Amino acid sequence: MGSYQRRGENSFLLVVEAGYDAKSKRKKRTKTIRITDQPLLKTKRKLENFLQQELAKFQIEIEAGEYIAPNKNLFSDFVQEWYKRYAIKELSPTVVKNYMSSLRSHILPVFGTKRIGDIKTIQIIRFLDDKATGENERKDGRPGKLSSDSIRKFYDALCNVFNRAYEWRIIKDNPMTGVKKPAVKQREMRYYTSEDLGEVFEALNHESLMWRVYFLGALFGGFRRGELTALEWSNILFDTNEIEIINNIVGSENVQPIIKDPNTKSSKASVVMPEWYMELLKEYKAEWLNEKESAAEYWEGSDH
């Protein structure tokens, strides 16, 4: 059984009974529809036929188990749920950090107080357009517009949140479906010239041995920052002049490193290094062992 009643000048409430709950009380599902067609509102018979059709479609939707009641949670409330039940469990710390930065700084101030089920595709499109063209959107105080990379990060964060809301049946339709992924402008790559490298080498001569092996390793081994900081002495193969890339430090939590596998399978490999560099590493190892021995029981670095 179903019925409808007028709620306002152009809004109507559809009511459909949906069986009984655990306490044998009738369950009712409701849906509010708004009619903007003025001629339809003024024609009683056509209006009645239209409402009966909408009521029938609503009843079929409920009986087929496809109806999702309008969610009254605010977008900001769902973001907290998403963070706790998905983000910190399934995403890398770096990705979570980027998503939360985008959400807190730009997305939540616009959508946070809206009901998640009320957010429309066109609103998201306008939001991304406004962010891309606005002159005062940067939060770092620098002049100019936000980069295309920043706009893509907003899009990615919104996609992840709304995808989870759709999968968890919080919303019936995903508003991101009709949003085109923003293009990212590729920056021109900048490389060191031979003169630049000469200046780098000269500068490194005035630094500690630790920093010399670190930056020279980056220059000659092509290692990423996280791969270099994750190196252990067991990864240094002095006999064959190789360095094994086994781990990657992607961040820290509670002052402890978060260690992951390298970014790609091809990154997990051994890199042959110049013999002079390996000799420099031997010098650094001797310095490291001496420092560890001198610290005695105060040493907190274990074998790292």
- The ranges assigned to domains in the chain are 2-63, 75-167, 194-298
Whether the pLDDT of residue 26 is over 70: the answer is yes
Average pLDDT over residues 104-115: 94
Which pLDDT band, with edges at 50, 70 and 90, does 10 fall under?
Answer: confident
Whether the pLDDT of residue 218 is over 70: the answer is yes
Average pLDDT over residues 173-200: 89
CA distance 262 to 5: 61
* Proportion of the chain above pLDDT 70, given as a percent: 92
Chain-centroid distance, C-alpha 41: 45
CB 248 within 8 A of CB 264: no
Q: Over the chain, what is the mean pLDDT? A: 87
User: Who wins on pLDDT, 268 or 233?
Assistant: 233
Average pLDDT over residues 251-261: 78
User: Who wins on pLDDT, 205 or 70?
Assistant: 205
- pTM for the predicted model, two decimal places: 0.59
Tell me: domain 75-167, CATH 1.10.150, correct?
Answer: yes
Query: What pLDDT is recorded for position 268?
Result: 66
Whether the pLDDT of residue 37 is over 60: the answer is yes
Query: What pLDDT is recorded for position 149?
Result: 92
Range with lowest mean pLDDT among 188-197, 225-234, 246-255: 246-255
Query: What pLDDT is recorded for position 266?
Result: 52
Whether the pLDDT of residue 186 is over 90: the answer is no
Residues facing residue 33 across a β-bridge: 12
Average pLDDT over residues 41-58: 87
Average pLDDT over residues 7-12: 86
Query: What pLDDT is recorded for position 72?
Result: 67
Query: What pLDDT is recorded for position 293?
Result: 94
Residue 172 burial (10 A CB sphere; 0-12, 13-18, 19+): middle
